[in-house]
Chain A
């Protein structure tokens, strides 16, 4: 079946640093989504990408839908302590609405 490889698995950074994480797929997706999950809560949508090559920002977050439609990245600029959490990429390739999730990137920010 389809698989998403998300990297890195974890990051421990200093407050103020920029962060970059990415996802690659073995097959083509027509939608890429980035979610953040905090302890004890469900994932919350950060950015949705619907078109190859699309670059979208949400505050300090920027995400891009790769031209090949097999990858996506998420950047966080000037990290702050509240950025701590697990970030998931998710992709959809068909017309069923089903999502395939990456393994997640655990982000820790040192004040």
Chain B
């Protein structure tokens, strides 16, 4: 199906491990975003990308790395997971900066 997908949907890992969350969209949207959602904080932007090979930090980028070698994919990597990174992660995309963002179903990550 066309749209925006995330994998895995659920992940449990241990402190210090590297974890990569995948995001794939089929709309050829230029802009893609990663958010984390925590109780009491709503949705906070981690990183975003305006196009392939162009990325920039959001509000809470520390501990995360992104890449965008292809327009349709925007993986988020936690290089050394910490308990504070336990959260629900959402990927989103939009065609232009003036359009609404469309969200994926989310990945629930637990760091033990």
Contacts and interface: CB of A to CB of B under 8 A. Distances in A.
Nearest to A31: B98
B104 A42 contact: yes
Nearest to B104: A42
Nearest to B56: A96
Contacts of B94: 97
B8 interface: no
Contacts of A50: 98
A95 B103 CA distance: 20
B30 to A, nearest CB: 9
B42 A102 contact: yes
A98 B58 contact: yes
Nearest to A44: B103
A84 interface: no
A42 B105 contact: yes
Interface string B29-64: 001010100001111110010100000101100000
A9 B103 CA distance: 22
A94 B103 CA distance: 20
Contact of A88 (B42, B98, B100): B42
Contacts of A41: 105-106
A96 B48 contact: yes
A31 B43 CA distance: 17
Interface string A9-53: 000000000000000000000010101000011111100101000
Of B41, B45, B101, most buried by chain A (CB within 10 Å of CB) is B101
